[in-house]
Amino acid sequence: MAGGRGHGHGDRLPAPLLPHAALPAPGAAAALLQAARLRPAAGHAAAHLRRQAHEESCQQEDHRLQPFCHQIFGGQVWQRDQRDMRAIQPDAGYYNDLVPPIGMLNNPMNAVTTKFVRTSTNKVKCPVFVVRWTPEGRRLVTGASSGEFTLWNGLTFNFETILQAHDSPVRAMTWSHNDMWMLTADHGGYVKYWQSNMNNVKMFQAHKEAIREASFSPTDNKFATCSDDGTVRIWDFLRCHEERILRVS
């Protein structure tokens, strides 16, 4: 058009006006650019440190726990035969190498107690009638004439817990084959069920006289008790029901 003003390819549209506060200074722009470049590297470094700390904590946890299966099967990587197994010594440094008796079947001499180690006494001195190892083989449970349970550390020989378990002397104590239940009996004829954390869940009177021994069946569904009344009684473990009486002449 004659009187109009056209926009050709060489014309440029005016840039929008911005306040001076929105425009970063040259030094600030360089700092922002440098921070943007370093941010991925810093993020990767932080992630690497977190991952390294997690791995170290897991290694420390595994070293402290030393599961039974890891002790037995993990050592087979470098053990050519059973002669390469580490010998257990009566020292605190060998605590992580302590395994249940089933893990030391290759060395029957561990079952021969020819060396006196130590004598330990409870706070209240009284006769101890029954002694049993815990399933993992690291602690010892004793039943005394006072009716107390004492949980002993099998390596340091000091007691860890004292529990008033029965009102009369503890006469029998046995663990189930699945290592989940401990059954105890006392001089009054009472039987108690205990979990592995020493939590009592059941109590009933099985005999009218003192119970001398108790034993689980191979399936743990039943157990037997023998008493001074001259009978052996077969019980259902879950129902606490007497199924059979065997009289001993």
Per-residue model confidence as pLDDT tens digits over 33-45: 555 555 555 556 6
- Give the end-to-end CA distance of the chain in Å, rounded to a whole number: 134
**Where along the chain do the CATH 2.130.10.10 domains lie?**
118-247
Q: Does residue 37 or residue 203 have the better pLDDT?
A: 203
pTM for the complete prediction? 0.57
Q: What is the pLDDT of residue 57?
A: 60
> Tokens 């001074």 sit at which residue?
228
Angle at 89 between CA 88 and CA 95, to 5 degrees: 70
How far apart, in Å, are the Cα atoms of 43 and each of 36, 53, 54, 151? 11, 15, 17, 50
Q: Is 169 exposed, middle or buried (0-12, 13-18, 19+ CB in 10 A)?
A: buried
Whether the predicted pLDDT of 62 surpasses 60 = no
Superfamily of domain 118-247: YVTN repeat-like/Quinoprotein amine dehydrogenase (2.130.10.10)
Sheet order of strands, 159-164 included: 128-133, 139-144, 148-153, 159-164
Q: Does residue 37 or residue 193 have the better pLDDT?
A: 193
Q: Does residue 131 or residue 116 have the better pLDDT?
A: 131
Whether the predicted pLDDT of 7 surpasses 50 = no
- What is the DSSP code (8-state) at residue 102? G
